[in-house]
Structure 1
Amino acid sequence: MRILILEDNVTLAMGLKKTLCSEGYAVDVFHDGEEGASVLEYQEYDLLLLDLGLPSIDGIEILKRIRKNQKKIPVIIISARDKLDQKVLGLESGADDYLCKPFERAEVIARVHAILRRVAQNGQSLITIGDFLYNTTTRTLSKNDIRIELSNRELSVFEYLITHANQVVSKDSISEHITSFGDDLNSTAVETYVSRIRKKTGDSMKLNTVHGLGYILLT
């Protein structure tokens, strides 16, 4: 899962990035509204954490542009504007959630998990894939109540596959979706992570290679 943070407070933004990266997410950070609006035009994200008081372009204006262009990216506003009318404006402009500063690390993680779960699987917290059970809240995979340990990068690859279940996805799309700007992850690395997932899950996980195109996870 790839997350964009638009926050002009560098210390806060980097703290959020560290927190979310520790959960296995790929995270990009921009501190200027114009730069953030530009990157949203060409890069796909699973979630946007949006400050309202950004330089160049206000967060509400960015949010309105996103919805006007019919982009379905979920948005959590993170703002010191804690008045009721500001919260109402943010939600009515298209935000999915509103988090007032200051906030605790655990609350950010909980809100992010809840939003991504709601979007990816219509609110389901448990997803069945053959003999396997994936818990979107704890981000854990198990078979017959035995947990299968996946590294953060393996988990990111698996989550991308499961959110595109029964669809063919290319190695490039996987690589782009699970890395931040500046990260180097080529198709060979993607092959390695898929191979590790297969080794850990065995033949009962229907994770197939579509030669020349990529992979497909069958449910």
Structure 2
Amino acid sequence: MRILILEDNIRLATGLKKRLSQEGYAIDVLHDGEEGASVLDYQEYDLLILDLGLPGMDGIDILKKMRKNNKTMPVLITSARFKLDQKILGLEAGADDYIAKPFDLKEIVARVHALLRRSQQKGQTTIQLGDLTFNVLTRMLTKGDEHIHLSNRELSVFEYLISQVNVVLSKENISNHVGNFDNTFTPHAIETYISRIRKKLGSNVQIKTFPGLGYMISTK
């Protein structure tokens, strides 16, 4: 899954990126409000972590513009504006959650997991596909009592595929959701990760190839 962090505090943004990357998410970071608003016009994300006090364009204005343009991705506000009226303003503008600075990175991770879980699976905590079970909260894949280990990149690709069961996804679509500004996934890389995942899934679930179109995960 791909997350955008809009935060002008470089040290904090770097810490957030490092911590969330360890969870297997693809992270983009921008420090300017106008630049962030421009990127949001053309790039799709699964979640936005938004500081309010940004140079160029205030976070509230970015949020209002997003919602006006029917951008429905979950938004987690992180702000030094800790007063209740500021929190209410952020939530009424369309934020899904609000956390005041300073905060613990563990809490950010927990809130990100919760927001993505609600957004992607409408409250579902597990996805059952054939004899596989994927826990959306822990991002753990099991077959019966056996844990199937996926690398972070394999997990990112698999997570996107299983969120779109029986839907054909192009290589470009997959790349846009699992890559970031610093680490784009080439079509060849997507093929490589798909091949590795196939070997780990077992016999009841398969990833089908549609030449010229992309891939689809389904049961046999």
Normalising by structure 1, we get a TM-score of 0.98
The answer for the alignment partner of 1:105 in structure 2 is: 105
Q: Which runs of 5+ in 1 are unaligned?
A: none
Shift of 1:176: 1.8
Q: How many pairs are equivalent?
A: 219
Cα displacement string for residues 3-44 of structure 1 (whole angstroms, at most 9, x for unaligned residues): 000001000011100011111111111101000000000100
Structure 2 letter corresponding to 1:88: I
The answer for the alignment partner of 1:177 in structure 2 is: 177
The answer for the alignment partner of 1:95 in structure 2 is: 95
Q: How does 1:97-176 map onto structure 2 within 5 Å? A: 97-176=97-176
Structure 2 letter corresponding to 1:67: R
- Aligned Cα RMSD in Å? 0.9
Cα displacement string for residues 55-99 of structure 1 (whole angstroms, at most 9, x for unaligned residues): 011000000000001111110000011111111010000000001
The answer for the alignment partner of 2:204 in structure 1 is: 204
Distance of 1:32 and 1:46 partners within structure 2: 20
Structure 2 letter corresponding to 1:7: E
3-state secondary structure, aligned to 1:206: strand
3-state secondary structure, aligned to 1:142: strand
The answer for the alignment partner of 1:216 in structure 2 is: 216
3-state secondary structure, aligned to 2:209: strand
The answer for the alignment partner of 2:26 in structure 1 is: 26
Distance of 1:184 and 1:46 partners within structure 2: 16
3-state secondary structure, aligned to 1:138: coil
Q: Which runs of 5+ in 2 are unaligned?
A: none
Distance of 2:180 and 2:14 partners within structure 1: 13
Normalising by structure 2, we get a TM-score of 0.97
Cα displacement string for residues 103-142 of structure 1 (whole angstroms, at most 9, x for unaligned residues): 1111011000000000100111111011110001110000
3-state secondary structure, aligned to 1:73: coil
The answer for the alignment partner of 2:7 in structure 1 is: 7
Distance of 2:177 and 2:127 partners within structure 1: 21
3-state secondary structure, aligned to 2:205: coil
3-state secondary structure, aligned to 1:102: coil
Cα displacement string for residues 139-188 of structure 1 (whole angstroms, at most 9, x for unaligned residues): 00000121000000000000110111111001111112111103142111
What percentage of aligned pairs have identical amino acids? 63
Shift of 1:204: 1.4
Shift of 1:203: 2.2
Q: Which runs of 4+ in 1 moved over 4 A?
A: none
Distance of 1:140 and 1:113 partners within structure 2: 13
Structure 2 letter corresponding to 1:87: K
Distance of 1:76 and 1:184 partners within structure 2: 25
Q: How does 1:51-90 map onto structure 2 within 5 Å? A: 51-90=51-90
Structure 2 letter corresponding to 1:134: F
